[in-house]
């Protein structure tokens, strides 16, 4: 098929541009794009964004485009890696005129005091959470990543990297079990880019759809990306022996087509994993607590000291680790604070609940003192 004939069929969506099929283009995207095709715009997938411009993979190859037309005040609506864009067919510079509605979006809160959200990647099917076994496992951080992944709409997958540094099979089995307990319903893979162990299984999982690599610096993301790409595309830096941490090898989010099929977005190491309106994601991470809560005597049980609390009963008999319950409470509180900063009604509800609990506390204290204030 010639380039001209490909362009003639793009507007009808009857055929897929071959160059874009490898990047996830399908009939559904073609249908969404039809109005823009009628305007003579080109479809393309954003492979990188920096400084108000982006690289877009189109059927003509990668083009550099300006994002001035799609830079709203809302940081969650700025164009990002993984978006499907409508780009001008000609011009210098070319401009992205719009992007298609996102199927999924991976969002975290920024470190700013305004509690804004930051979109990390769009239209992702698999969220690969890379966790290094070079240091001590941080189960709380894994839970945070999982909450953001579930909230995004993508399917999370945990990859324990650098398994060659844990030569004892029994120790490795215990580590995997800890992570599986932390991530109910999530597949956990063990991978060593050094020996090649597990990379074939991971390649099969990510061979269909778009995957994003997430994790802190030193988790082995870039090494893992190179293993999946079959080439040293991403720079790799050594990890400090003192604490197992690494420097930021990847400084931008890059989208790459995998040789075995599928698309991979590599991201910089995340220092902070702040939640942003991710209550549904938190609930999914702690699904076993929600299951226990369904058997509590009171439907609004806070799982603290209420009679007939099934959650506390599970903690007491060792079925539910207390660490999980504390982490669940912590993440829900954090998420509520973030949402409350932008939701006046929720702020009022929190203040009202606080006043009620304060009054109850004072009444209980007075009762213990024999009615004396």
Relative to beta strand 187-190, strand 155-161 is parallel
- Within 10 angstroms of residue 18's Cβ, the number of other Cβ atoms is 11
Residue 197's pLDDT band (cuts 50, 70, 90): confident
Predicted TM-score (pTM) of the model is: 0.80
Q: Is pLDDT at 350 greater than 50 in this prediction?
A: no
Q: Is pLDDT at 62 greater than 80 in this prediction?
A: yes
Backbone φ and ψ for 155, nearest 5 degrees, come out as -90, 115
* Higher pLDDT, residue 232 or 126: 126
pLDDT at 202: 92
pLDDT digits (tens, 9 = 90+) for 90-121: 988 899 999 999 999 988 876 544 556 788 89
Sequence-distant (≥ 6) Cβ neighbours of residue 368 within 8 angstroms? none
Q: Is pLDDT at 359 greater than 70 in this prediction?
A: no
Mean pLDDT of 223-246: 61
Q: Is pLDDT at 9 greater than 50 in this prediction?
A: no
Structure tokens at 65: 């485009």
pLDDT at 275: 74
pLDDT at 79: 92
pLDDT at 230: 81
Mean pLDDT of 62-69: 92
Q: Which of 113, 105, 74, 159 has its CA nearest to residue 281?
A: 105
CA-based torsion, 345, 347, 349, 351: positive or negative: negative
Query: How far is the C-alpha of 63 from the C-alpha of 20, rounded, in Å?
Result: 13
Mean pLDDT of 295-301: 90
Residue 76's pLDDT band (cuts 50, 70, 90): confident
Which run of H or of E encompasses 212?
strand 210-214
Q: Is pLDDT at 124 greater than 90 in this prediction?
A: yes
Mean pLDDT of 163-176: 93
**Average pLDDT in the chain:** 81
* Higher pLDDT, residue 278 or 317: 317
* Higher pLDDT, residue 161 or 342: 161
Residue 249's pLDDT band (cuts 50, 70, 90): very low
Residue 88's pLDDT band (cuts 50, 70, 90): very high
- Residue 55 region by backbone torsions, left for phi larger than 0, else alpha for psi between -120 and 50, else beta: beta
44: burial class by Cβ within 10 Å (0-12, 13-18, 19+)?
A: buried
Which residues pair with residue 322 across a beta bridge? none
Q: Is pLDDT at 330 greater than 80 in this prediction?
A: yes
């Amino acid at each position: 098929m010639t380039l001209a004939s490909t362009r003639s069929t793009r507007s009808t969506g009857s055929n897929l541009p071959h160059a874009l099929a490898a990047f996830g283009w399908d009939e559904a995207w073609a249908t969404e794009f039809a109005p823009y095709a009628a305007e003579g715009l080109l479809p393309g997938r954003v492979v990188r964004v920096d400084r108000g411009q982006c690289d877009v993979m189109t059927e003509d190859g990668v083009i550099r485009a300006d994002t001035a037309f799609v830079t709203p005040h809302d940081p969650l609506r700025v164009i990002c890696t993984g978006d499907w864009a409508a780009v001008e067919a000609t011009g210098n510079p070319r401009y992205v005129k719009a992007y298609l509605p996102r199927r999924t979006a991976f969002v975290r809160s920024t470190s700013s005091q305004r509690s804004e959200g930051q979109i990390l990647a769009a239209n992702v099917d698999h969220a690969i959470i890379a966790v290094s076994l070079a240091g001590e496992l941080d189960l709380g951080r894994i839970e945070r990543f999982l909450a953001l992944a579930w909230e995004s709409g993508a399917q999370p997958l945990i990859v324990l990297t650098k398994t060659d540094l844990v030569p004892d099979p029994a120790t490795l089995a215990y580590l995997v079990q800890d992570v599986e307990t932390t991530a109910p319903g999530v597949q956990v893979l063990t991978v060593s880019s050094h020996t090649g162990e597990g990379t074939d299984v991971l390649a099969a999982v990510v061979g269909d759809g778009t995957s994003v690599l997430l994790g802190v610096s030193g988790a082995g993301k870039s090494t893992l990306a190179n293993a999946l790409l079959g080439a040293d595309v991403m720079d790799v830096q050594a990890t400090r022996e003192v604490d197992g941490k690494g420097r930021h090898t990847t400084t931008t989010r890059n989208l790459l087509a995998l040789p075995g099929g599928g698309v991979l977005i590599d991201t910089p190491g995340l220092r902070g994993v702040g939640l942003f309106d991710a209550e549904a994601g938190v609930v999914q991470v702690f699904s076993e607590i929600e299951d226990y809560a369904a058997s509590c005597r009171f439907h609004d049980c806070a799982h603290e000291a209420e009679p007939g609390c099934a959650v506390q009963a599970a903690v007491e008999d060792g079925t539910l680790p207390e660490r999980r319950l504390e982490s669940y409470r912590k993440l829900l509180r954090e998420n509520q604070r973030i949402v409350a900063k932008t939701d006046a009604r929720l702020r009022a509800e929190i203040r009202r609940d606080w006043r009620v609990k304060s009054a109850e506390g004072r009444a209980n204290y007075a009762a213990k003192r024999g009615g004396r204030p």
